[in-house]
Amino acid sequence: MHEVALAEGVLRIVMDAARANAAARVHTVWLELGALSHVEPDALAFCFDAVTRGSVADGAKLEIARTAGAAWCMPCGERVPLAKLGDACPRCGSYQLQVLEGDAMRVKEIGIA
């Protein structure tokens, strides 16, 4: 389950931000999670709760915003929506796609007190 390692990485980012801003508590963390990222949101939220115990982010709410996937279709020469990796182009059926977005996870905002 790679969500544990991802949650630990998010916690490091949160702890660095809290330290830099002399925050006593982190109450919310907002994440962007791409549809093509291979990360299960519920598993990530569970792992985040586990790894933040005893830290300045203990009890912090994790808000996850999903972002859509998009790819460049070489035969069409166009940007197309992509629901998951391995799908064909919805316009021409080709598998010659280059992912443009939706494969990343990033900390968007951290709410501190």
Domain boundaries, the chain: 3-112
Residue 1 pLDDT: 60
Asked whether the predicted pLDDT for residue 55 surpasses 80, the reply is yes
Task: Share the mean pLDDT of the chain.
Answer: 96
Q: Kindly report, residue by residue over 79-94, the tens digit of the pLDDT.
A: 999 999 999 999 999 9
Residue 87 pLDDT: 96
**Stretch 46-66: mean pLDDT, rounded?**
98
- Comparing CA positions, the residue from 34, 15, 35 lying closest to residue 23 is 15
To the nearest 5 percent, what fractions of the chain are helix, strand and coil? 25, 35, 40
Task: Pull the structure tokens for residue 22.
Answer: 């002399």
Fold of the domain spanning 3-112: hypothetical protein PF0899 fold (3.30.2320)
Q: Kindly report, residue by residue over 63-78, the tens digit of the pLDDT.
A: 999 999 999 999 999 9
Residue type, 34: G
